[in-house]
A = this chain, B = another copy of it.
């Protein structure tokens, strides 16, 4: 999570959507937007009439190494110029009135952007200035609106956060990661036979030490122990450790018994 002086090795991503910051005010935010774009696999950035001019060293300092996105961005005097070569334009805006336009959620927009790009068309996403957001003329230049599904009681969304949500959704549309996995690293999830083997070992030792001596209650106690060890996935490595724990505890007990008997 640190900046790198040299910049990260980012490369253009063919036909990915263009992020267009309309009249952005703060160079810090432009840098943070570039960083968020890099996080989500977006590369092309355009600025329309940045308030404080361009370039601004602060943007590079706040980009955490997303330098190449800033190095290669283009600056435009008007929004019309910035979208002239695009086929589809989306505009992020909270709640415009008196407008008839399709409205997408961020997730819906990400899926449509993927479809548009797969067809070989170029798409852009407009983000308005920090203070006021996009004005009515900016919005009229867009085909489709994107309205984030977020807490209506607190709509103040930072510019780079707005870019982050879109970049995250863009990346996620094609990410194949399953929602839940078990990270096992060097080992593997144990089979039922492995687990059974451990439970026999444990039960034998518990019989030997007398823990299961109440015979009417024994079946229920064994089942409860099984329920616990089955609750999460257990790995082969963990079973080896558990075997060792049982063996050592039992051995210690027998040795203690021998010492006491002497």
Contact = CB atoms under 8 A, between A and B. Distances in A.
B156 A3 contact: yes
A44 B74 CA distance: 41
Interface stretch (A52-60, A184-192, A217-225, A249-257): A184-192
Interface string A61-104: 00011100000000000000000000000000000111111111
A172 B107 contact: yes
A151 interface: yes
Nearest to A97: B185
Interface string A1-25: 1111000111000000000000000
A100 to B, nearest CB: 5
A105 interface: yes
A111 B153 CA distance: 22
Tell which of A1, A132, A149, A153 has the most Cβ of chain B within 10 Å. A1
A89 to B, nearest CB: 15
A64 B161 CA distance: 13
Given A10-B153, A105-B177, A151-B171, 8 more contacts: A1-B131, A1-B157, A8-B153, A38-B153, A39-B155, A65-B156, A102-B180, A145-B183
